[in-house]
Structure 1
Amino acid sequence: MFIAYAVVGILLAALLTFSAIGTFTRQEKIVASMRDVRVPDSWLPRLATLKALGALGLLAGLWITPIGVAAAIGVILYFIGAAIFHLRAKDYAIAPVVIILLVAVAALVLRLASA
Protein backbone atom coordinates (compact mmCIF):
# COMPACT_ATOMS: atom_id res chain seq x y z
CA MET A 1 0.00 0.00 0.00
CA PHE A 2 2.87 2.39 0.66
CA ILE A 3 4.05 2.26 -2.95
CA ALA A 4 0.52 3.08 -4.11
CA TYR A 5 0.44 6.05 -1.72
CA ALA A 6 3.86 7.16 -2.92
CA VAL A 7 2.71 7.15 -6.55
CA VAL A 8 -0.63 8.86 -5.86
CA GLY A 9 0.89 11.31 -3.38
CA ILE A 10 3.73 12.33 -5.68
CA LEU A 11 1.42 12.77 -8.68
CA LEU A 12 -1.06 14.81 -6.62
CA ALA A 13 1.79 16.88 -5.17
CA ALA A 14 3.07 17.61 -8.69
CA LEU A 15 -0.40 18.69 -9.83
CA LEU A 16 -0.83 20.93 -6.78
CA THR A 17 2.63 22.43 -7.31
CA PHE A 18 1.92 23.35 -10.92
CA SER A 19 -1.45 24.78 -9.93
CA ALA A 20 0.10 26.78 -7.08
CA ILE A 21 2.77 28.19 -9.40
CA GLY A 22 0.09 29.12 -11.93
CA THR A 23 -1.92 30.84 -9.23
CA PHE A 24 1.10 32.67 -7.76
CA THR A 25 2.11 33.89 -11.23
CA ARG A 26 -1.53 34.63 -12.11
CA GLN A 27 -1.62 32.60 -15.29
CA GLU A 28 -4.63 33.78 -17.25
CA LYS A 29 -6.31 30.37 -17.55
CA ILE A 30 -6.22 29.75 -13.80
CA VAL A 31 -7.18 33.30 -12.82
CA ALA A 32 -10.03 33.34 -15.35
CA SER A 33 -11.35 30.05 -13.98
CA MET A 34 -11.31 31.42 -10.44
CA ARG A 35 -12.98 34.66 -11.52
CA ASP A 36 -15.69 32.65 -13.29
CA VAL A 37 -16.68 31.10 -9.96
CA ARG A 38 -16.39 34.45 -8.16
CA VAL A 39 -13.24 33.86 -6.13
CA PRO A 40 -11.95 37.28 -5.05
CA ASP A 41 -8.52 38.20 -6.46
CA SER A 42 -7.33 38.93 -2.93
CA TRP A 43 -7.71 35.20 -2.12
CA LEU A 44 -5.34 34.02 -4.86
CA PRO A 45 -2.08 34.23 -2.86
CA ARG A 46 -3.66 32.38 0.08
CA LEU A 47 -5.15 29.69 -2.14
CA ALA A 48 -1.83 29.22 -3.93
CA THR A 49 -0.10 28.91 -0.56
CA LEU A 50 -2.60 26.28 0.56
CA LYS A 51 -1.98 24.25 -2.61
CA ALA A 52 1.79 24.53 -2.16
CA LEU A 53 1.55 23.47 1.48
CA GLY A 54 -0.68 20.55 0.50
CA ALA A 55 1.95 19.42 -2.00
CA LEU A 56 4.74 19.71 0.57
CA GLY A 57 2.67 17.86 3.16
CA LEU A 58 1.93 14.99 0.80
CA LEU A 59 5.64 14.64 0.05
CA ALA A 60 6.58 14.88 3.73
CA GLY A 61 3.94 12.23 4.35
CA LEU A 62 6.16 9.74 2.59
CA TRP A 63 8.29 9.78 5.75
CA ILE A 64 5.98 11.15 8.44
CA THR A 65 2.55 9.53 8.35
CA PRO A 66 0.60 12.14 10.36
CA ILE A 67 1.77 14.92 8.05
CA GLY A 68 0.67 12.95 4.99
CA VAL A 69 -2.72 12.28 6.55
CA ALA A 70 -3.17 15.93 7.54
CA ALA A 71 -2.10 17.11 4.08
CA ALA A 72 -4.51 14.75 2.35
CA ILE A 73 -7.35 15.95 4.60
CA GLY A 74 -6.40 19.55 3.85
CA VAL A 75 -6.41 18.93 0.09
CA ILE A 76 -9.79 17.20 0.39
CA LEU A 77 -11.23 20.19 2.25
CA TYR A 78 -9.72 22.60 -0.28
CA PHE A 79 -11.35 20.81 -3.20
CA ILE A 80 -14.68 20.45 -1.40
CA GLY A 81 -14.56 24.24 -1.11
CA ALA A 82 -13.68 24.52 -4.80
CA ALA A 83 -16.65 22.31 -5.70
CA ILE A 84 -18.94 24.46 -3.58
CA PHE A 85 -17.75 27.62 -5.34
CA HIS A 86 -18.35 26.00 -8.74
CA LEU A 87 -21.84 24.89 -7.78
CA ARG A 88 -22.74 28.27 -6.26
CA ALA A 89 -21.69 29.94 -9.52
CA LYS A 90 -23.79 27.39 -11.44
CA ASP A 91 -20.62 26.18 -13.19
CA TYR A 92 -21.33 22.50 -13.60
CA ALA A 93 -18.10 21.74 -15.48
CA ILE A 94 -16.49 20.62 -12.24
CA ALA A 95 -15.09 17.30 -13.43
CA PRO A 96 -11.45 18.37 -12.84
CA VAL A 97 -12.29 19.46 -9.29
CA VAL A 98 -14.10 16.19 -8.55
CA ILE A 99 -11.27 14.12 -10.04
CA ILE A 100 -8.65 15.87 -7.91
CA LEU A 101 -10.92 15.50 -4.89
CA LEU A 102 -11.19 11.75 -5.50
CA VAL A 103 -7.42 11.46 -5.95
CA ALA A 104 -6.96 13.26 -2.62
CA VAL A 105 -9.40 10.83 -0.98
CA ALA A 106 -7.41 7.96 -2.49
CA ALA A 107 -4.19 9.46 -1.09
CA LEU A 108 -5.76 9.66 2.37
CA VAL A 109 -7.06 6.09 2.27
CA LEU A 110 -3.76 4.72 0.95
CA ARG A 111 -1.72 6.64 3.54
CA LEU A 112 -3.92 5.39 6.37
CA ALA A 113 -3.76 1.82 5.00
CA SER A 114 0.03 1.90 4.78
CA ALA A 115 0.61 3.34 8.25
Structure 2
Amino acid sequence: MFAAYVTVTIIGAVFTGAAAVFYLIGHDFPKTQADMKRVPRSWVPRLGWCLAAGSLGLLAGFAVPLLGALAAAGLILYFVGAFIAHLRVGSRQLVGPAVFLTTSIAAFVLNLSYHA
Protein backbone atom coordinates (compact mmCIF):
# COMPACT_ATOMS: atom_id res chain seq x y z
CA MET A 1 0.00 0.00 0.00
CA PHE A 2 2.80 2.42 0.88
CA ALA A 3 4.53 1.89 -2.47
CA ALA A 4 1.31 2.56 -4.38
CA TYR A 5 0.60 5.67 -2.28
CA VAL A 6 4.08 7.11 -2.87
CA THR A 7 4.18 6.21 -6.57
CA VAL A 8 0.76 7.62 -7.46
CA THR A 9 1.30 10.75 -5.39
CA ILE A 10 4.65 11.47 -7.04
CA ILE A 11 3.24 10.80 -10.51
CA GLY A 12 0.30 13.12 -9.78
CA ALA A 13 2.64 15.83 -8.48
CA VAL A 14 4.88 15.54 -11.54
CA PHE A 15 1.92 15.64 -13.96
CA THR A 16 0.30 18.66 -12.36
CA GLY A 17 3.65 20.36 -11.75
CA ALA A 18 4.60 20.02 -15.42
CA ALA A 19 1.20 21.40 -16.48
CA ALA A 20 1.66 24.29 -14.03
CA VAL A 21 5.00 25.17 -15.60
CA PHE A 22 3.45 25.29 -19.07
CA TYR A 23 0.67 27.53 -17.79
CA LEU A 24 3.01 29.85 -15.92
CA ILE A 25 5.72 30.33 -18.57
CA GLY A 26 3.19 31.49 -21.14
CA HIS A 27 3.42 28.47 -23.44
CA ASP A 28 1.07 28.58 -26.44
CA PHE A 29 -0.74 25.31 -25.63
CA PRO A 30 -2.63 26.57 -22.54
CA LYS A 31 -3.51 29.78 -24.39
CA THR A 32 -4.98 27.92 -27.35
CA GLN A 33 -6.84 25.59 -24.98
CA ALA A 34 -8.27 28.60 -23.14
CA ASP A 35 -9.38 30.11 -26.44
CA MET A 36 -10.96 26.84 -27.54
CA LYS A 37 -12.86 26.53 -24.24
CA ARG A 38 -13.83 30.21 -24.32
CA VAL A 39 -12.00 30.91 -21.06
CA PRO A 40 -10.39 34.35 -20.74
CA ARG A 41 -6.63 34.26 -21.24
CA SER A 42 -6.25 36.25 -18.05
CA TRP A 43 -7.25 33.05 -16.20
CA VAL A 44 -4.32 31.03 -17.58
CA PRO A 45 -1.74 32.17 -14.98
CA ARG A 46 -4.29 31.75 -12.17
CA LEU A 47 -5.06 28.24 -13.32
CA GLY A 48 -1.32 27.58 -13.44
CA TRP A 49 -0.96 28.72 -9.83
CA CYS A 50 -3.82 26.39 -8.84
CA LEU A 51 -2.00 23.50 -10.49
CA ALA A 52 1.28 24.46 -8.82
CA ALA A 53 -0.39 24.66 -5.41
CA GLY A 54 -2.00 21.26 -5.95
CA SER A 55 1.29 19.72 -6.98
CA LEU A 56 3.13 21.12 -3.97
CA GLY A 57 0.26 20.13 -1.71
CA LEU A 58 0.45 16.53 -2.87
CA LEU A 59 4.13 16.44 -1.99
CA ALA A 60 3.56 18.22 1.33
CA GLY A 61 1.07 15.46 2.09
CA PHE A 62 3.96 13.14 2.85
CA ALA A 63 4.68 15.28 5.93
CA VAL A 64 1.11 16.45 6.66
CA PRO A 65 -1.35 13.82 5.37
CA LEU A 66 -4.38 16.11 5.70
CA LEU A 67 -2.72 18.66 3.42
CA GLY A 68 -2.12 15.97 0.77
CA ALA A 69 -5.74 14.85 0.94
CA LEU A 70 -6.98 18.43 0.63
CA ALA A 71 -4.64 19.11 -2.29
CA ALA A 72 -5.85 15.97 -4.07
CA ALA A 73 -9.47 16.99 -3.43
CA GLY A 74 -8.75 20.44 -4.86
CA LEU A 75 -7.16 18.90 -7.95
CA ILE A 76 -10.19 16.63 -8.38
CA LEU A 77 -12.44 19.70 -8.42
CA TYR A 78 -10.06 21.47 -10.82
CA PHE A 79 -10.07 18.59 -13.30
CA VAL A 80 -13.82 18.04 -13.04
CA GLY A 81 -14.07 21.70 -14.05
CA ALA A 82 -11.65 21.10 -16.93
CA PHE A 83 -13.73 18.11 -18.04
CA ILE A 84 -16.89 20.23 -17.94
CA ALA A 85 -15.16 23.02 -19.88
CA HIS A 86 -14.28 20.54 -22.63
CA LEU A 87 -17.81 19.16 -22.79
CA ARG A 88 -19.35 22.65 -22.71
CA VAL A 89 -17.73 23.58 -26.03
CA GLY A 90 -18.27 20.16 -27.61
CA SER A 91 -14.63 19.09 -27.44
CA ARG A 92 -14.03 15.36 -27.61
CA GLN A 93 -10.37 15.65 -26.57
CA LEU A 94 -11.06 14.20 -23.14
CA VAL A 95 -8.04 11.94 -22.65
CA GLY A 96 -5.91 14.66 -21.04
CA PRO A 97 -8.45 15.76 -18.42
CA ALA A 98 -9.40 12.12 -17.80
CA VAL A 99 -5.79 11.10 -17.09
CA PHE A 100 -5.25 14.03 -14.74
CA LEU A 101 -8.61 13.45 -13.02
CA THR A 102 -7.97 9.72 -12.59
CA THR A 103 -4.51 10.37 -11.16
CA SER A 104 -5.90 12.93 -8.70
CA ILE A 105 -8.67 10.55 -7.60
CA ALA A 106 -6.15 7.75 -7.13
CA ALA A 107 -3.86 10.02 -5.07
CA PHE A 108 -6.82 11.05 -2.91
CA VAL A 109 -8.06 7.50 -2.33
CA LEU A 110 -4.59 6.14 -1.61
CA ASN A 111 -3.84 9.01 0.78
CA LEU A 112 -7.01 8.31 2.73
CA SER A 113 -6.50 4.53 2.63
CA TYR A 114 -2.90 4.62 3.75
CA HIS A 115 -3.44 7.10 6.58
CA ALA A 116 -6.73 5.63 7.83
Instruction: Place the TM-score, normalised by the shorter chain, in its bin.
Output: over 0.9
1:96 is aligned to: 96
2:68 is aligned to: 68
How many angstroms apart in 2 are the aligned matches of 1:18 and 1:38?
Answer: 23
2:23 is aligned to: 23
Over aligned residues, Cα RMSD in angstroms? 0.9
User: What is the correspondence of 1:71-82 to structure 2 with a 5 Å cutoff?
Assistant: 71-82=71-82
- Give the match's secondary structure for 2:11: helix
Q: Following TM superposition, by how much is the alpha carbon of 1:114 offset from its aligned partner in structure 2, in angstroms?
A: 0.4
Pair 1:84 & 2:71 matched: no
Asked whether the 8 Å contact 1:58–1:67 carries over to 2, the reply is yes
1:33 is aligned to: 33
- Unpaired runs of 5+ residues, structure 1, are none
How many angstroms apart in 2 are the aligned matches of 1:80 and 1:32?
Answer: 20
How many angstroms apart in 2 are the aligned matches of 1:44 and 1:96?
Answer: 17
Q: Following TM superposition, by how much is the alpha carbon of 1:5 offset from its aligned partner in structure 2, in angstroms?
A: 1.4
How many angstroms apart in 2 are the aligned matches of 1:14 and 1:86?
Answer: 23
Note the alpha carbon deviations across 1:43-68, whole angstroms, 9 max, x for none: 11110110000000000011211001
1:49 is aligned to: 49
2:58 is aligned to: 58
Q: Following TM superposition, by how much is the alpha carbon of 1:34 offset from its aligned partner in structure 2, in angstroms?
A: 2.1
How many angstroms apart in 2 are the aligned matches of 1:8 and 1:49?
Answer: 21
2:111 is aligned to: 111
How many angstroms apart in 2 are the aligned matches of 1:43 and 1:83?
Answer: 16
Task: Provide the identity percentage.
Answer: 38
- Give the match's secondary structure for 1:114: helix
- Give the match's secondary structure for 2:26: coil
Note the alpha carbon deviations across 1:24-81, whole angstroms, 9 max, x for none: 1111122212211111111111101100000000000112110010000000000000
